[in-house]
Structure 1
Amino acid sequence: MPLIALTGGIASGKSTVARSLAARGAVIVDADQIVRDVQQPGTPVLAAIAATFGDGILQPDGSLDRAALGAIVFADADARARLNGIVHPAVRAESQRRFDDAGADPAAVVVYDVPLLVEARVDDPWDLIVVAYAPADVRRERLVRLRGLTAADADARIAAQVSDDQRLAIADVVIDTAGTLDDTERQVAALWERLTGPHPH
């Protein structure tokens, strides 16, 4: 069972690559979805976040107020480190459980769709690290056009993540998403051939 890490900066086309791999039969394990799942009301993770950052990060219904928490940790590296110390171990355990479930099928290709690979999971035993890549100016334009951000907000989001150089340095495969969707699809098809052909490694 090949275990693939798929990462990329904000607006890098990572989700497009993930969807294309899923359409070919890959099992996608979505790190962002796991984060949401382990932070549901009633979970130890949410209780620990509230104990650390105060009940102001909770909505009236007891769920996490992501915007309130984001405002605290976005600008404060120490707060971000405390949050990561709570969330990352739970995400690691849950993602492993999902990998194991998928691995019951020895032919499964499991893709861990993870934005913060460089920051959190780079040393895990991945068979292949795939980086979806588009230059920062392309990503800025996408954030403004597709997500309605101002140019300044787009730059801040991009700057808050690790640099492209750091991501590209760990890549086994780079999918360049700056071109057309067809270009991206061709690269994904070649990757799939590599993963499922007679010699996947």
Structure 2
Amino acid sequence: MKIIGLTGGIASGKSTVADILIENGYKVIDCDKIAWALAEPQREIWQIYLERYGERVLNPDRTLNRQAVADIVFRDKEELTAINALVHPIIKGQMWEEAAQAKKSGVQTIFFDVPLLFEAGFDKMTDENWLVYVLPEIQKERLMARNGYSEAEALRRISAQMSLEKKKLLADVVIDNNGDVEELHRQVLEQVKDGQG
């Protein structure tokens, strides 16, 4: 079984690539979806946040108040590092579990869709890593159009992540998403064909 990491920056088109892969029958394990599920009331990540921060990170219905958590961890780099050290192993464990299930059912190639693939060390779990790449100007324009951000807010969000130029140096495969969706489709399908995914 081959595991391919799929990453990109905000508004780079990573989700579109994941959708193309799923439409073509490939198994994609979404890191964010797993993290959200594990943060449901009484689940593992929910318990970690409650133990660490107390009731202030819960909504009245006992669901996690994600904004309250974000307000704590994104204002303090050390706290973000500490919480990631607790949470990431749980997410990785769940991803491995899902990969093992897929392998049992005969799946040959699995994609791990992880926004922070390199930053959080998820690339150590993969055989190959793909980056969905866009030029900074296009990334900014797409983010402003998609989320209604001002230019300053878009740039702040982009600069909070590892640059796509740095990620490009770490990736095995670069999917160029500066063109249209048809071109993106063509590249993705060509890539899986070449890799015999």
- Does the alignment reach a TM-score above 0.5? yes
Q: How does 1:1-201 map to 2 (within 5 A)?
A: 1-196=1-196
Does structure 2 retain, via aligned residues, the 8 Å contact 1:109–1:195? Answer: no
Structure-2 separation of matches of 1:176 and 1:156: 23
Structure-1 separation of matches of 2:137 and 2:65: 31
Identity across the alignment (%): 35
Structure-2 separation of matches of 1:81 and 1:124: 18
Question: How large is the Cα RMSD of the aligned pairs?
Answer: 1.4
Q: Please give the secondary structure, in 1, of the residue aligned with 2:10.
A: coil
Cα 1:125–1:80 change in 2 (3 A) is closer
Letter in 2 for 1:44: E
Does structure 2 retain, via aligned residues, the 8 Å contact 1:2–1:195? Answer: no
Deviation of the 1:125 alpha carbon: 4.1
Does structure 1 retain, via aligned residues, the 8 Å contact 2:9–2:164? Answer: yes
Deviation of the 1:59 alpha carbon: 1.1
Q: Please give the secondary structure, in 2, of the residue aligned with 1:158.
A: helix
Cα 1:189–1:123 change in 2 (3 A) is closer
* 1:123-170: CA deviation from partner (whole Å, max 9, x where unpaired): 524222000010222111111101112222211111111112221111
Structure-2 separation of matches of 1:26 and 1:159: 31
* 1:22-66: CA deviation from partner (whole Å, max 9, x where unpaired): 111110100000111111110232122122123211111111111
Structure-2 separation of matches of 1:189 and 1:173: 13
User: Normalised by the size of structure 1, how large is the TM-score?
Assistant: 0.92
Deviation of the 1:195 alpha carbon: 2.9
Structure-2 separation of matches of 1:67 and 1:74: 10
Q: Please give the secondary structure, in 2, of the residue aligned with 1:174.
A: strand
Does structure 1 retain, via aligned residues, the 8 Å contact 2:175–2:187? Answer: yes
Deviation of the 1:107 alpha carbon: 4.2
Structure-2 separation of matches of 1:20 and 1:73: 33
The count of corresponding residues between Structure 1 and Structure 2 is 197
Letter in 2 for 1:141: E
Structure-1 separation of matches of 2:102 and 2:67: 33
Structure-2 separation of matches of 1:9 and 1:51: 31
Structure-1 separation of matches of 2:5 and 2:129: 5
Gaps of 5+ in 1: none
Cα 1:91–1:137 change in 2 (3 A) is same
Letter in 2 for 1:150: S
Deviation of the 1:84 alpha carbon: 0.5
Q: Please give the secondary structure, in 2, of the residue aligned with 1:6.
A: strand
